[in-house]
Structure 1
Amino acid sequence: MLGTGRYETMGRSTTMETGRAFEARDHQGAETPPPETAMELRRDEIAGKLKDLRGRMRDRRLELVVLRQAPNVAWLTAGASTSVVLTSDTSAVGIAVSQDRVTILADTIEAPRLEDEEYLAALGMQIDAPVWWDTGSSLASLLARSRATGSDDRWIGPDITDISSDLRELRTRLRPGEIQRLYQAAGIAGQALQKTILELEPGMTELAIAGEVGRHTISEGAQVVVNLIASDQRITRYRHPLPTAKPVERYVMLVLCASVGGLIAAITRLVHFGSLPAELEDKSHAVAEIDARLILTSRPGRTLGDQFSCAEEAYREAGYPDAIREHHQGGSIGYLGREVMAQPGDPTVIESSQAFAWNPSIPGVKSEDTILVTPDGPEVLTGRFEWPVIPCGFAGESLNRPAILVR
């Protein structure tokens, strides 16, 4: 359970929320299972996904599906690490799925690690490993024998059916093992920011801060997907501030997306050295209320269009009606930093066991955490550490959102 204390800023009372140090746990708080059990869980997860994917193949009358995009390869392999060039959308290997076989399209470079460390052969997948200069031959042979092929990569051959939307729909419905990996990513992301913030001092450059965020993230077993740092006037000027050599004067924003087993968690926190200006404090309370409303209304059956309208109304009530035009508000999160962004009229329906990251912003402030939609309501995953919070509420429900930490 979380405890509370008091935290004062500019005469306005906020709450200090204290969470336990996060360890690798599933969504019910159980410890990470032993290796043998983990393998069984992965095997069951893959079997369920193959059943769903093959059902879609029958519906679309496809004999073969080829996956090349990194999010889809991570999804079907239950979190195997297959990306070598982290800035590429494409995995270093592909997967060919028919009604009776799963083939990993690898080569002599990738195959040994995939078998020894990712256990793909033990999980029932055939690893095809031609010599590295002939990697296209296996795929060409499969395509030649298939009368109808679907893929997430239309460039693999002629007459390919694009199944990207089918795959996105399947991978955003998180299974228990995926929720566990998302919890791990959320815990590592939160702790990485907390550790970095404890080290912050005026005069540090944004690049140095980004380096510390990356160090604390990678050393705990997660990958850095997004690492944005802004200080002082850059926070107001830029919504996506890539870190620079600028030294911190008084105000810092840290934005991190970290992934474990392909599942991504997003978090933003703000730190101010010295007394907080009244205008900045007012903005932080406004954006916290908008964020709380988006989180509390993230319920099964609502649509992303409903959520956009909710945000639009909240910005208008807060006195910042144009801010919604200046940056997207977030949306579903999973194997991509945003699977689907909320837009006007979007009919995408929110379901239980889906993850979301809303990120409302007003020039100079932002609020962002990763949440899980559950039958009992939304659960915040990334905020499990000590931090000052702003008590917020909507429609009779209350929720604490992060304040600006004053040091």
Structure 2
Amino acid sequence: MEGLERIRYWLKEQGYDGIILSRRDNYTWITKGNTNHVVQNCEVGVAALFIRENTVDIIADSSDSARIAKEQNSLEGNRVLVHWYESMEEFLADYLKNLNVVSDTGVAGTRNVQKELVTLRMQLTEEDLKNYQMIGAQCAGIVEQICKEAKPGQRENEIANRLRILCIEKGISPDCVLVGADDRILNYRHPMPTDKRIEKSLLCVLGGEKRGLNISLTRMVYFAPVPEELQEKYEKLRYIFACMQLVMKEGMSYSEYFGKIEKLYEEAGYKDEWKLHHQGGPTGYGCREFIVKPSTKGCIHAGQAYAWNPTITGVKCEETTFLGKDGLLTFTRTKEWPRKTIATPYGDFDVADILQR
């Protein structure tokens, strides 16, 4: 079922007359890749969709109305112009008068149903899946290229900027770029890049978005033999990560799933390490649609994408995967990066190695 069809079915089921969508993520989801923003680092765009049972209006002010209606209007919505000097809030309040309308922002006093929309958009279509495979391969290829080109003596910021450039060249928005070297990998779970020079080790993380779909992955490099203690940690983490991927099944509650994560850390001898960094969660049209916690409600479902990212101090595993009816698909796996097959009680799973240079 396509996004527009899902929205309309949901509106009818809930008894609403319509919905206003103005968040960038929802606009891109419902239009299959269109955008409604001008400023890059904003959550809400400059155009809104007003979706009803049989109509779609595309509402924007005079600065962007013509462009959006012609170039970012795959739903062929009716153009509704608001003058730039008028209040959009007041316009919508009048436009929606006497209608039972909800929205993804709470604009004009409407009920904010963003949480419900996240649930609606998490189930990926065949087109989403095809796009995800392409975007995942591109993101993984970029990160792995960066890691193979990096040299001791380079600054973290040099690596990060090169990564951003390669992403932008392929139309990928590098929303999260983490680059850490040596002791900063040991000290910080989120090593924002600095001018520190690489000595022996490098961690590179990308959260990239293209066509609304989000990819997350991590790769590690060592410019010397990997220390025995660190390799031991990584082997234990790889086992945790492989189990986290393979234990997922349709209908498993997130609370049960997280209980298994806690047990895996404890069995590995790192009982409290999960408390030092989140473990990830479902992804798709949000970097994480939500972070899974011990108290998270809801269930794992086939047909959805996941980005789990367990850590033990100094090492991290992270990929973006898809739980299909016939098994697990890794969007961020390439043939160019060394991997090791990890045997678990739930089956075997290939996990990225630390690249030794």
Bin for the TM-score computed over the shorter chain: over 0.9
Aligned to 2:31: 77
Q: Evaluate the alpha carbon distance shift between residue 250 and residue 113 of structure 1 in structure 2; reply closer, same or farther with a 3 A threshold.
A: farther
Counterparts of 1:92 and 1:209 in 2: how far apart (Å)? 33
Aligned to 2:301: 351
Aligned to 2:96: 143
Counterparts of 1:111 and 1:49 in 2: how far apart (Å)? 23
Report runs of 4+ in structure 1 exceeding 4 Å deviation.
none
Pick from 262, 269, 276 the counterpart of residue 226 of structure 2: 276
The one-letter amino acid of 1:142's match is: Y
Deviation of the 1:257 alpha carbon = 1.1
Deviation of the 1:316 alpha carbon = 0.8
Deviation of the 1:390 alpha carbon = 2.6
* Counterparts of residues 56-135 of structure 1 (less than 5 Å): 56-118=10-72, 120=73, 123-134=75-86
Counterparts of 2:27 and 2:247 in 1: how far apart (Å)? 32
Deviation of the 1:114 alpha carbon = 2.6
Counterparts of 2:276 and 2:65 in 1: how far apart (Å)? 46
Pick from 109, 112, 121 the counterpart of residue 162 of structure 1: 112
Residue 165 of structure 1: SS of its match in structure 2?
A: helix
Aligned to 2:134: 184
Aligned to 1:251: 201
Deviation of the 1:334 alpha carbon = 0.7
With 210-219 and 122-131 compared, the bigger mean Cα shift is at: 122-131
Deviation of the 1:264 alpha carbon = 0.3
2:24–2:35 CA contact under 8 A, matched in 1:
no
Pick from 232, 242, 263 the counterpart of residue 192 of structure 2: 242
| Greater RCO (Cα-Cα under 8 Å, separation 6 or more) | 1
- Count matched residues: 356
Tell me the alpha carbon deviations over residues 339-385 of structure 1, each in whole angstroms, 9 at most, x when there is no partner: 12222143321222100010000110000000001011111110123
Residue 133 of structure 1: SS of its match in structure 2?
A: coil
1:251–1:272 CA contact under 8 A, matched in 2:
yes
1:105–1:138 CA contact under 8 A, matched in 2:
no
Tell me the alpha carbon deviations over residues 82-140 of structure 1, each in whole angstroms, 9 at most, x when there is no partner: 2222222212221111222111222233234334433x1x5321232333333616423
Counterparts of 1:116 and 1:64 in 2: how far apart (Å)? 23
Tell me the alpha carbon deviations over residues 147-166 of structure 1, each in whole angstroms, 9 at most, x when there is no partner: x2211112x223x2221121
Residue 341 of structure 1: SS of its match in structure 2?
A: coil
The one-letter amino acid of 1:174's match is: L
The one-letter amino acid of 1:350's match is: I
Counterparts of 1:358 and 1:187 in 2: how far apart (Å)? 17
1:255–1:266 CA contact under 8 A, matched in 2:
yes
Counterparts of 1:138 and 1:180 in 2: how far apart (Å)? 39
With 341-350 and 230-239 compared, the bigger mean Cα shift is at: 341-350
1:287–1:367 CA contact under 8 A, matched in 2:
yes
Residue 369 of structure 1: SS of its match in structure 2?
A: coil
With 285-294 and 70-79 compared, the bigger mean Cα shift is at: 70-79
With 91-100 and 162-171 compared, the bigger mean Cα shift is at: 91-100
Tell me the alpha carbon deviations over residues 10-62 of structure 1, each in whole angstroms, 9 at most, x when there is no partner: xxxxxxxxxxxxxxxxxxxxxxxxxxxxxxxxxxx7xx322221222223222
**Structure 1 unaligned blocks of 5 or more:** 1-44
Q: Evaluate the alpha carbon distance shift between residue 109 and residue 218 of structure 1 in structure 2; reply closer, same or farther with a 3 A threshold.
A: same
2:47–2:65 CA contact under 8 A, matched in 1:
no
Q: Evaluate the alpha carbon distance shift between residue 324 and residue 180 of structure 1 in structure 2; reply closer, same or farther with a 3 A threshold.
A: same
Pick from 178, 181, 199 the counterpart of residue 228 of structure 1: 178
